[in-house]
Amino acid sequence: MTLIALQGGKPVRTSLLPYASQLIDDADIEKVIDVLRSPLITTGAMVQKFEAAIARYVGVEHAVALSSGTAALHAAMFAIGIQSGDEVIVPAITFVASANCIVYQGGRPVFADVDADTLLINPDSVERLITTKTRAIIAVDYAGQACDYESLRRIARHYHLHLISDASHALGGSYKNGRIGSLADLTTFSFHPVKSITTGEGGMVTTRNALFAKYIKQFRHHGINATSAQREKQGSWDYDMQFLGFNYRITDFQCALGLQQLTKLPQWLDRRHSIAAYYNRSFSNLKCVTPLAVLEEDRRTHAYHLYVIKFAMQQLDCTRHELFSAFRAEGIGVNVHYKPVYLHSYYRDALTVKPGHCPTAEHVYNNMMSLPLFPGMAQQDVEDVVSVVKKITKYYAIT
């Protein structure tokens, strides 16, 4: 049996392959430089152009760019009026920002369990958690796959709730006849470097609701009713802070990068699909490895931000921590997405939620890992990942 690197064997790779990475080329850099040489590098025309491009891409009337995906989520909670005493249902498996945005507005996140096969929010769990204090549902398109929006919309309509989509993983994905970004009352995106496209840091809210868009534009600018560029155009110095907002503005040079990256999104999505398909074929006969399910019904198109596998730990003579260390020792930068949010120290102290609240989420969390998947991966990188999965699981397999 081949000795794994963690036990002194030769690693498959001599350099670490990250689980994700941005892809920046000379054309991207030139677009940014052009804006840096222009008179206006923030709150200018490039922001509006990027917003318009994203709105067209997802098929809605309005898009508002912000400084991060977290800012976009916070703005969405503000727009729908979340305040002290309100409850918002959010999946247990997500990045902490999906819940934090509720707390920023004084609300209380209520954690729903997920589907074991997809890690998408479970509509049945959502409906069981609704109370007279519930104001909204945040659906997270985990790993890049659309949630069951038909069921979630039905629940939201029946109980008069807002439906928010946290699509930070899912730009380019679709559900039935609509692109992700057009399926909820408000949809938020992230443009962090590991996402489908990047602006360095940045986010976006998309919506069909003009009033929501107006509130969010003002919210990102301290609650002030006119930007400096707008005042300059009007020949006025006067402005009015009409409510408490934040400085969540994004720069023009970030938006120039985003615009240029958006032109490459189709080919990058194709590459993500190609890598995922190779993984699927390679792991199809491994008894102790199961990729997340890809739902064929409802004409979903997966954006493949993440490629997550579940290990049958009862068939392996190791802990998940040992598995993680073994992958890293071989040069494969695996990651884990995510610890159930209510298990973080802050939420364990702030809420009465205890371990066992979402049993499916907790079970899968203890058995899952994210493999590298990003458009810049060479075919040899992909093959190295497969080689390491097979090498490690064979080494630890209980015979």
Q: Which residues are identified as catalytic?
A: 195
**Nearest-angstrom CA–CA distance, 317 and 89:** 37
Residue 377 neighbours by CB distance under 10 Å: 22
**Nearest-angstrom CA–CA distance, 193 and 383:** 24
**Nearest-angstrom CA–CA distance, 204 and 188:** 6
Judged on CB neighbours under 10 Å (0-12, 13-18, 19+), 284 is exposed
Q: What is the torsion angle, in degrees rounded to the nearest 10, for the CA atoms of residue 50, residue 56, residue 61 and residue 62? A: -20
**Nearest-angstrom CA–CA distance, 341 and 122:** 16
Judged on CB neighbours under 10 Å (0-12, 13-18, 19+), 177 is exposed
Residue carrying structure tokens 């199809």 = 284
Comparing CA positions, the residue from 53, 48, 92, 27 lying closest to residue 340 is 92
Asked if 265 and 172 count as a contact pair (C-beta separation under 8 A), the reply is yes
Could you tell me the CA-to-CA distances from 89 to 69, 134, 170 in Å, in that order?
19, 7, 20
Per DSSP, what are the bridge partners of residue 62? Answer: 207
Q: What is the torsion angle, in degrees rounded to the nearest 10, for the CA atoms of residue 205, residue 208, residue 212 and residue 215? A: 70
**Nearest-angstrom CA–CA distance, 370 and 119:** 13
**Nearest-angstrom CA–CA distance, 151 and 175:** 12
**Nearest-angstrom CA–CA distance, 281 and 284:** 5
Could you tell me the CA-to-CA distances from 259 to 61, 89, 263, 382 in Å, in that order?
18, 33, 7, 28
